[in-house]
Amino acid sequence: MKLVKVKDYQEMSKKAAQIIMDQVKTKPDAVLGMATGETVIGTYEYIVKNFKQELLSFKQVSTVNLDEYIGVKRSHPTSYYYFMNEKLFKYIDIPHDHVHIPNGSGTDLQAECEEYEGIIERLGGVDLQLLGIGHNGHIGFNEPGTPFQTRTHIVKLAESTRDANARFFKTREEVPTHAITMGIETITKSRKILLLVSGKEKAPIMERLINGEVEECVPASILKLHPSVTIIADEDALSMLENDCVKVLTHD
């Protein structure tokens, strides 16, 4: 695991956007794994701001998103489909049919999960997967205790995740109880992984991730076994770690 320590959210976002844009420059038909949530908004803003100046095209790129709520229509502002369109896709030249997001309002959700795995396989796997981390260590919506071998599946969201995501809804009751998510095995099959972590409220989980064991009660801990993971974390997110420990892990 390579840990890149940055000053703040802006610097994290800028570096992450550069890594994603470099991936597209070196492989114009790259398959990008996308995430939603507050952590990645700045990264998408940088990409949108820079893609014209960088003479970058996403015409050959394909994307697969990590997850989607169940029971929320794609046209609804709280859906991840809507989020991706508003934050990124409508500003870049990616063809509509190259964008893949689980459909959480379909009628056969089990078939949707299997089909999603098929899509990733047909695309030849993910080149670069972008991730955020939940306060409880979740990646995608794989909550603590999810077996490491899971593929795309339906999950019941932890109440702490519903609390954390309530800020995007009018009331706590509106936060969906279930979602479709890529599984942990699906995520870790990606050739490269980029995990972004920002803010003091993520400091306890960062401390646990860096100093703790690889265990299913901290889903993100599996990333320690992956051959190509870069974590970009800001000073606040690393504030519970000893400086020496950060140095040992930092190569940049």
Identified binder of ligand F6R from the candidate list 37, 102, 137, 183, rule CB under 6 A: 37
Q: Are strands 67-69 and 178-181 parallel, antiparallel or unpaired?
A: antiparallel
- Identify which of residues 23 and 36 has a Cβ nearer to ligand F6R in the complex: 36
142 noted as active-site residue: no
Instruction: Yes or no: say if 25 and 18 are a contact pair by the CB < 8 Å rule.
Output: no
CA–CA distance, 218 with 234 (Å, rounded to integer):
20
Inter-residue contact 5 to 250 (CB < 8 Å): yes
Q: Is 134 in the site for ligand F6R (CB under 6 A)?
A: yes
User: Is residue 127 annotated as part of the catalytic site, yes or no?
Assistant: no
Measure the CA dihedral 252/211/240/141, to 10°. 90
Decide if residue 36 touches ligand F6R (CB under 6 A): yes
Which is catalytic among the residues 136, 153, 234, 236?
A: 136
Stretch that binds ligand F6R, among 113-121, 136-144, 229-237, 240-248 (CB under 6 A): 136-144
* Separation between Cα atoms, residue 188 and residue 199, nearest integer Å: 25
CB 229 within 8 A of CB 193: yes
**Stretch of residues binding ligand F6R (CB under 6 A), selected from 11-19, 32-40, 71-79, 187-195:** 32-40
- 8 vs 12: CA distance, rounded Å: 6
Is 143 among the residues known to form the active site?
Answer: yes
138 binds ligand F6R (CB under 6 A): yes
Considering the complex, state which of residue 28 and residue 147 has its C-beta at the smaller distance from ligand F6R.
147
**Contact at 8 Å (CB) between 230 and 195?**
yes
Q: How far is the CB of 106 from ligand F6R (least distance, A)?
A: 18
Q: Contact positions toward ligand F6R, by CB under 6 A?
A: 35-39, 66-67, 132-134, 138-141
Annotated active-site positions, please? 67, 136, 138, 143
